[in-house]
Amino acid sequence: MSRSLVVIAAIRKLAVPDICRHLLPGAVHAMAIGVCPSDGDIAVAEVLEIGRHSHIDLASGRRAELEAGDRLLVVVGRLFAPLEFSCECPATLGDCALVSSAGAAGVVTGGANGLPPTRLRLLGLAVDADGAVLNLGRLTPATAAPAEALRIAVVSCARGSHATKVTAALTRGLSRAGFRVGVAKPTGAADAAERWRFLDAGASAAVDVVDAGRLCSAGLDAGDLMAVTGTLLGALNGNQAVLLRVAGGLARRDIRALIATPAFAGQVHGVVLAAADALSAIEGARRIAEAGLPLLAVSGAICRSPLAMAEARNGLDCPVLDPQALALPNRLSALLAPFAMARAAVGGERLLSIAA
């Protein structure tokens, strides 16, 4: 079948998901049929049957319920999300699945137990006024080289460590202390609810792999991950403090490779480790030390158990703090003071430490 363009009826009524948030109004002029999708392509899809994802997170920040017959934009490609669905890019237009509420779609290769995925039919690939297929990689906003700022990485030992809660608490604490805070998530996949949680906690901006033109970070080597990290840091220029939410867990090879990269250590002033128990906290702390990164504190799901916190303290040289403590400026002051984070040049200004 040869390539042809089809004008989309009621183009304005197409739901635009969070993953397409950089798509300019009026950018979609038609859809191409008789073509094969490539990783990151934006497609027009119709909902066939509702499964696990019964809603879509819109680019506007609102959540919209889905019903069979609804049409929306999705991004097709490879996605690795063990607690949801993992997928590959479809080889042809036709049936596939919605694998995230952010708007990712593909052919499912694995997933957690529970409801089957929401079924979609890819009707065509979205094209611009010149007939070029719109791709996530083409939507990346221009960024400058990262400017100097206080940078703290929040690294999870494994999924379920409550690293998102820790990041939100740090965002709130730094914001309350007078810092303009940005949050970057260079690993994992887009999660609109998580991004809005950081914004609600006081972040001036929150960016993820989508802002670097990627569907997710799975399969990237350390060099590519650092490129994504650099792009996201550049997007947060103007912030006095930046939190790097390193998702995925230290058990993953790509995450270990990223934190072991000298370039990553050069971008980070310290690490807060999110752990679920004492053993993972102690082992995670060892790996952080091997990477040459200063460990500021351990927090996360481990703080649900006072006994687990006490066990971890016996094997650590850093404090174990409940996420609620990280949201308190006076506790942050004591935490950051020993690590020489007193000043950062931001926009030509000298920024005093929260310890001052």
Tens of pLDDT, residues 216-250:
888 889 999 999 999 999 999 999 999 999 998 99
Write the DSSP assignment of 196-215 as a string of letters: HHHHHTT-SEEEEGGGGT-S
Q: Where are the domains of the chain?
A: 4-139, 150-351
pTM above 0.95, yes or no: no
**The domain made up of 150-351 is a member of CATH 3.20.20.70:** no
Span 34-57, pLDDT tens digits? 999 999 999 999 999 999 999 999
Check whether 355 has a pLDDT greater than 50: no
Q: Phi/psi class of residue 197: alpha, beta or left (left: φ > 0; alpha: ψ in -120 to 50)?
A: alpha
Q: Considering Cα of 214, then 215, then 220, then 222, what sign does the dihedral take?
A: positive
Kindly state the tokens that stand for 282. 């102690």
Interatomic CA distance for residues 189 and 95, integer angstroms:
22
Pairing of strands 104-111, 85-88: antiparallel
Rg, C-alpha atoms of the chain: 21
Q: What are phi and psi of 15, to 5 degrees?
A: -70, 130
> Which of 51, 37, 53, 183 shows the shortest CA–CA distance to 15?
53
338 pLDDT band, cuts 50/70/90, is low
> Cα–Cα–Cα angle for 33, 190, 164, nearest 5°?
170
CB 292 within 8 A of CB 263: no
> Cα–Cα–Cα angle for 201, 202, 203, nearest 5°?
105
Span 265-312, pLDDT tens digits? 988 999 999 999 999 999 999 999 999 999 999 999 999 999 999 999
Q: What is the pLDDT of residue 315?
A: 92
Kindly state the tokens that stand for 113. 């137990």
Q: What is the pLDDT of residue 157?
A: 94
Kindly state the tokens that stand for 124. 């065509």
